Amino acid sequence: MQARRLEITGAYEFTPKSFPDRRGLFVAPFQEAAFVDATGHPLRVAQTNHSVSARNVVRGVHFSDVPPGQAKYVYCPQGALLDVVVDIRVGSPTFGRWEAARLDSTEYRAFYLAEGLGHAFVALTDDTVMNYLCSTPYNPAAEHGIDPLDPDLGLPWSDLDGEPILSEKDRTAPGLAQAAEQGMLPDYETCLAHYESLRDRG
């Protein structure tokens, strides 16, 4: 398993080895030892999520209140998608920046997004599956979104062959600046303190 720390603090990319043979293929998209070595703490899994999306479906930008927040370890076991991590933590040196990678059922690359980071993706094929390992259960009162089409964010949907397909909730979500004005966004220092507490707990 290869691990790469992204420029956005709290975000990592993991690439496992796969083992194809005449029967098919075996791969372990999540490996605790590699995860702990990269992040300094284990991943508590309180819930797993599974979504299926048609081509050009955009989901996100989603995030949760911190504390407790919801960290996510995501990978694509079927199809292909462009996954995006967005730094929405007020006070972060990379606030408003994003990084993206193709996740697919060829390389089984995964993204880890620590609490307080925004998450979005677009499905590049029909019947694209996303699997999520989540550190906390779903809490609708603590869940929020930012408009994934916000021109100030400039997320990488421009290469889509067709119009993006969004839920009504995502389409009507505030832009990043509006969310900041409304006090919706996580605080960077609070998030850093939370990450340190995870490492202390080991």
DSSP string, 15-55: E--EEEETTEEEE-S--HHHHHHHHSSPPP-SEEEEEEE-T
Our measurement of the distance from residue 63's CA atom to the centroid of its chain's CA atoms, rounded to an integer in Å, reads 9
Which CATH number fits the domain that encloses residue 164?
2.60.120.10
Residue 54 maps to a domain: yes
pLDDT at position 158:
79
pLDDT at position 52:
98
Q: pLDDT digits over 90-111, tens only? A: 999 999 999 999 999 999 999 9
Residue 13 maps to a domain: yes
Token pair 């620590």 is found at 114
Residue 201 maps to a domain: no
Residue 17 maps to a domain: yes
Residue 202 maps to a domain: no
Q: Is 119 a catalytic residue?
A: no
| Residue 159's pLDDT band (cuts 50, 70, 90) | confident
Tokens representing 172 are 């009507």
Q: Is 41 a catalytic residue?
A: no
Q: pLDDT digits over 69-92, tens only? A: 999 999 999 999 999 999 999 999
Q: Is the pLDDT at 40 greater than 80, yes or no?
A: yes
Residue 95 maps to a domain: yes
Give how many domains the chain has, as a whole number. Answer: 1
Average pLDDT, the chain: 96
pLDDT at position 160:
83
Q: Which domain holds residue 137?
A: 2-196
pTM greater than 0.75: yes
pLDDT at position 161:
84
Kindly name the residue from 41, 62, 144, 194 that is annotated as catalytic: 62
Residue 178 maps to a domain: yes
Residue 99 maps to a domain: yes
